[in-house]
Structure formats: structure tokens, C-alpha cells
Chain A
């Protein structure tokens, strides 16, 4: 009984602050202490704010690209790693582990310093060899650097998820398929892919959420671009307006929806295998 009450209090602690943000996003007053009345005016304000909409568009493009890249590269890598043993495998496991555990701020700094250094070397070279001298392209930080940095983490995440699924896969089906003279490609498309696809999709959704919510990596490598979390950070720095509550609520709704779908995809297997046991 005591434990039950305790757990309930912890759940309250986890969800009440989120609830407060949602609640006050509908508050027509300006402050937490004055709940004046219900209104959706802050949503209207947020959605008609061109800076916020630009930031939102950037974030969606970046998150979609990072999630797509990670799903493809993470899946191919997981398939390849499953066939491997020995030192190469150990090195890869180490790299995957490091890219998941290393703090985002270190990735942000390292990417910033490395890319700016490379650009400083390449830009004069490009300008020198560019055929017509009116407009040589200038390399700089932007969408691509953010996508590349996010993909480092999210790709490793997809590898971990897909590999767990491959390990738990029913191998007899693959053997049966081979015995029945299916080509490796047919076996892959008809047996392996359908079994690992929920993990790939869950990986895509988690990658999207991570990239969409990431602040610190983007803060370092976005250059002159603004992603939604960077926009939110600077508006909080300038002073809190209820508009931030509305934007925050929308961000929470997006990530919670994707997360719940990802959870359902990942857990459906667990339920099934625990029933089998």
C-alpha cells in the first residue's frame, strides 16, 4: 500500500510538469499564477509566427533525413554485423557503444571544430579551381552538418534495435527457405525483412524523435540555421511568453505520438515471444 502511494506520487512528479505546460498553453493570461480563462490564442500566435514556422520546417526536414539515413544504414550494418566475428566486430561494437554513450555536447563540439577546419581548407581550393570566377560554392555549416551529426547517434540506435530483433528471429524459417531453393535475395525479402521491419520502423520513429528534440548538437553545428529547439531556447532566453507553452505542447504531442507507435512496434514482439515460452 505504501509502495503504491509512493509510485503514484513519482508518476505525478513525472507527468504534472508536462501537464502544466499543456494546461497553460490554453491559458489566456500571461503567467502561471493567473489562470484567466481558456483560449487557443497562443497557438494562433505561434502558428502565424514566420520565425517559428521556419524553424519547424528545418527541424522536420532534418529529422526526416536523419531518420531515413539511419534506418537504411543501421539496418544494412546490423545485417552485416550479424555475419561477422572477430576483431572487426569488436571494433564496430566499440564504435556503436561510444557513439551512443558519448555526451551530445562532445559530438557537437567535435563536429563543429572538424567541419569548420575542413571548410577553411577546402573553400580557398574550391575558389581557386572553380572554372568561372563569379560564384564559387562556399561550404558552410547547415542542414547537412546537423543531419550528419544526428545520424551518428541514431544510426547506432537502429543497429542496436535491429540486431536485437535479428537475434530473436526464428532461424528455422530461413533454413527452410534455403532448403526449398530460394535465392538469398528471395529469402531476405520474404523471410528476414518482414521479421525485422517492426524494429526498423521503430528505429525510424525513435531516430526522428531524437533528431526533432535534440538541442545541444544542433546548437553547435546548425551554423546560421535555426531548428525548433534552438528557436525555443532563444525565446526562453529572451523571456518567457505563453507562446512557448503552445509550441512546447505541440512538440510534446509530436514526440509522444511517435514514441507510443514505436513502443507498440517493439513490444508486440516481446509479448509474442513471452507467450511462446
Chain B
């Protein structure tokens, strides 16, 4: 009897959350899918229909897709290259006393306003920032803002903390005795790193790359601020389609396609790198 009372309580405790998930996540996603099969009304509204017209029209935004699919993996790779040595340093070299502080210092920027942090680079790379400083020492005509370079800098700056954290976690868990055993058996530090540390940190590397990749797929601010209309992502196309040109059925098809690409890449990626769901529980804080 007490059990029955308990299950009523559980249901009551879960009810608000369940409603929220249904109304704010499941229902909206279904509506977007329905819209994506609809037609656009002459004034910009939606006409119910069952057509693949919107999907057939996707190639007209091909550039946004190819840009995203180039810059998202490239950005993740750049983050990985820069983050790995730092994560290694934090996990293996730093004393216990400083570890926590240094780790928190890496994570903090990620939770502060992405808008302000991206804006900082407009300020730094913009015409009156570094280029002006370069002119003072005699180098003229350097253009940094609104280039692919600026977009990559913005990406690395924005998402580096997200890459450091999971790699740090997997390196921190690594059993140091393995490295001692290897060196006792005559292995060089480099060989120990390649044969022990690197393979054992792969779950963290995979998680980090996946997190950065997924978030980059939906990025809008960085290309909007630092790409200057030359480098634009799917996110920029979506803002245009939903808020400016107001073609919601086509926009919905683009959004559905974005989610499909994301799901496919992530599941392929997980199958190849993790062989399961290990490492997925790495916390974000």
C-alpha cells in the first residue's frame, strides 16, 4: 500500500517536468516537421500541404551547409589541438593545490555571455584594433575582421573551455601506475604517451569534439559578428528565413535538415570512437 502511495507521489513530482517537455520540446519539434512539408502563402504565412518542395529547394542554401560542415569540424580540430596540451598539463603536471583553481578559470568564460566575448573580438580584430596597432609599426593594409580567420579565432575562443574539460576528466582518471610501469620497463616518455596516455584519453577527446561540433552546427553569433556576411552558417540562414524573409516552411526544412545531419554525424561518430555510450556523462560544469 505504501508503495502505491509512493508511485502517486512520484507521478505528481514528475508531472510539471513531463508537461514542460511535451509542450516546449516534443510539440514544437513536431510542428516544425509539419511546417517543413507545407507551402508558403503569398504573404509569407503557411499553407497546410504535404509536399517535398521545401526539401527540394534546400540546394539554394547549399553554401550555408557546406560552410557549416567545413568550419564545425575545423573549429573542433583547432580547439582540440590547443586544448589537449593544456588539459594534459592540468591533469598530470599541476599540483593538487592549484588544480581546482586553474580548472575553474578555464570553465568560467564558457558560462559568461558568448555575445560579449564574441564582441570583444570585433573590438580587437576590427579596423581600429590590431590593424591600427600594426600600422604604427609600419605594417599596413592588414584586414582581419570579416575573414575566415576571424571566424576560426572566434570559434576557438568561444569553445575552447568545452574541449579542455572532458579531456582533463579522462586524463585525470588515468592510472599513473601504468606510466611508472612503462618507464620501469624501459619505455621512453614519448612512447609511454603515445601508447598509454593518448589512447586512454580518447573518450575525453571524443566527447569534447562532439560537444564542440554539435554546438558549432547551430552557431549564429560568431559568423554574424566576425564573418561579415562572407562566412555564414546554417544558423545565419535560419535567422534570415524566420525573422527577415519570413519563409517559415522553407526555414523549417532547413532546421529539420540541420537536426538530421547532426544526429547522423553524432551517431556515426559515437559508433566509431566510443563504441557505446561511455564518456557521455561528462558534466558540463
**Given A113-B252, A213-B115, A229-B113: A18 in contact with B124 (beta carbons within 8 A):** no
Which of B10, B100, B111, B116 is in CB contact (< 8 Å) with A259?
Answer: B111
A105→B238 contact, CB < 8 A:
yes
Q: How many residues of B contact A (CB 8 A)?
A: 80
Q: Does residue B56 face the partner (Cβ distance < 8 Å to A)?
A: no
A259→B112 contact, CB < 8 A:
yes
**Given A4-B89, A17-B157, A248-B116: A109 in contact with B238 (beta carbons within 8 A):** yes
Give the docked Cα–Cα distance between A236 and B122 (Å).
9
Q: Does residue A252 face the partner (Cβ distance < 8 Å to B)?
A: yes
A14→B109 contact, CB < 8 A:
yes
B123→A240 contact, CB < 8 A:
yes
Residues on A with C-beta less than 8 A from B104 are: 263, 267
Give the docked Cα–Cα distance between A116 and B138 (Å).
56
Task: Give the A-B pair count, Cβ closer than 8 A.
Answer: 222
A residues lining the B interface (CB < 8 Å): 3-4, 6-7, 10-11, 13-15, 17-18, 20-21, 24, 31-34, 72-74, 76-77, 79-81, 83-84, 92, 95, 98-107, 109-115, 117, 148-149, 151-152, 155, 159-161, 164, 202, 206, 209-210, 213, 215-216, 219-220, 229, 232-233, 236, 240, 244-245, 248, 251-252, 255-256, 259-260, 262-263, 266-267, 271
B residues lining the A interface (CB < 8 Å): 6, 9-11, 13-14, 16-17, 20-21, 23-29, 31-32, 35, 46, 82, 85-86, 88-90, 93, 100, 102, 104-109, 111-117, 119-124, 126, 128-129, 132-133, 157, 160-161, 214-215, 217-221, 225, 235, 238-239, 242-243, 248, 251-252, 255, 258-259, 262, 283-285
A–B pairs, 15, beta carbons within 8 Å: A3-B85, A6-B89, A15-B105, A32-B126, A76-B13, A99-B21, A103-B214, A117-B46, A164-B283, A213-B113, A215-B221, A216-B221, A220-B243, A236-B119, A259-B108
